Amino acid sequence: MRPGRHLPVRAALLFGMIAVPAHAATIQITIDNLVFVPAEVSAKVGDTIEWINKDVFAHTATARNGDFDVTTPPKKTVSSILKKAGSIEYYCRFHPNMKAVLTIAP
Amino acid sequence: MFVRLSAAIAALSLLTGPALAQGAKPTDPQIAHIAYTAGVIDIAAAKQAIGKAGNKEVKAFAQDMVRDHEAVNKQALDLVKKLKVTPEDNDTSKALSKQATEKLAELAKLKGADYDKAYVANEVAYHKAVNGALETQLIPSASNAELKSLLQTGLKIFQGHQQHAEQVAAKLK
């Protein structure tokens, strides 16, 4: 099975079914040993963040201004779509010593 | 008040007190036992709080404590098994357990908001004491690299718990 062969079909299906914003990207933020990596990320409204929790502990990514609050169970990946612009400090509610910044352009 | 807060703290100060003055350094099997015991103590306190606490946030905090400390202790058990180390009971572990039992009995007599405040205040003090012991004594004394690394992860987790407990305590005032 050559992967290239099905690509046009898949793309056609994808664009046919859902309206994908022109430049929406998927950005990964990893939680490893109680640290958000990278600690500073730039993104745009409409982008998807994949929160990859490598720890055996549950964490959250909680915006200080209340814009988002994502819970990441141990060893799980959770996706969330960025809805509002801003330079947002976020932290883990369970371990408030875990902090990072997400800068979201409109 | 200070006397009541100091339940398990005096035991932890054994580590930095006379024991250290005599140059006695805990061995890896003793360190593993102390760290595991410290976790068990906090789980027992949290289970009591889940049953007794009136405040929703205090109850949620207690649930976080059970979940995290069980996860750390599971890792500790997996590690000692892997390293073929048998955790060794010692005076610090014994003193910790004895004082924790007394503290549980003392907290059991309290009710409502009084209980909530006393539990959270003790959580702040207890995590502070455990973190102090980890930083100044247990981590520097650990000779196995994997044990040291697990203790360092534990320290980060417990520092988070201390801050979390401080936030909950501030809201109870």
pLDDT tens digit string along A57-84? 999 999 999 999 999 999 999 999 999 9
Q: Does B167 touch chain A (CB under 8 A)?
A: yes
Q: How far apart are the first and last CA of chain A?
A: 41
Using pLDDT thresholds of 50, 70 and 90, give the confidence band for residue B5: very low
CATH number given to B26-172: 1.20.1260.10
Structure tokens at B160: 């988070």
Are the beta carbons of A96 and B64 separated by less than 8 Å? no
| CA A50-A55-A59 angle, 5° bins | 65
Region label for B152, one of left (φ > 0), alpha (ψ between -120 and 50) or beta (otherwise): alpha
Strand partners, A77: A52
The residue ranges of chain A whose pLDDT is under 70 are 1-22
Domain borders along chain B are 26-172
A98: nearest CA partner in chain B: B160
Are the beta carbons of A96 and B156 separated by less than 8 Å? no
Q: Least CB-CB distance to B157: which of A74, A93, A95?
A: A95
Tell me the chain B residues in contact with residue A33 when contact means C-beta distances shorter than 8 Å. 153, 156
Are the beta carbons of B64 and A33 separated by less than 8 Å? no
Distance CA A106, CA B36 (A): 48
Q: What is the bridge-based pairing of β-strands A40-44 and A99-105?
A: parallel
Query: Furthest-apart CA pair in chain A: how many Å?
Result: 48
Q: Is A15 exposed, middle or buried (0-12, 13-18, 19+ CB in 10 A)?
A: exposed
Q: Least CB-CB distance to A96: which of B67, B75, B160?
A: B160
Are the beta carbons of A95 and B156 separated by less than 8 Å? yes
pLDDT at B14: 56
Are the beta carbons of A57 and B164 separated by less than 8 Å? no
Distance CA A69, CA A78 (A): 12
The pTM of the full predicted model, rounded to 2 decimals, is: 0.84
Q: Which 132-161 residues of chain B touch chain A by CB within 8 A?
A: 153, 156-157, 159-161
Instruction: State the Cα torsion B8-A98-B149-B97 to the nearest 10°.
Output: 10
For an interface test with A, which of B63, B70, B78, B163 has the most A Cβ atoms less than 10 Å from its Cβ?
A: B163
Does residue B1 carry a pLDDT above 50?
no
Structure tokens at B78: 């997996």
Are the beta carbons of A57 and B167 separated by less than 8 Å? no
Q: Which of B8-17, B83-92, B101-110 has the lowest mean pLDDT?
A: B8-17
| CA B141-B25-B36 angle, 5° bins | 65
pLDDT at A17: 53
pLDDT tens digits, one per residue of B7-66 = 456 666 655 544 443 447 899 999 999 999 999 999 999 999 999 999 999 999 999 999
pLDDT at A45: 95
Q: Which domains does chain A have, with CATH numbers?
A: 22-105 (2.60.40.420)
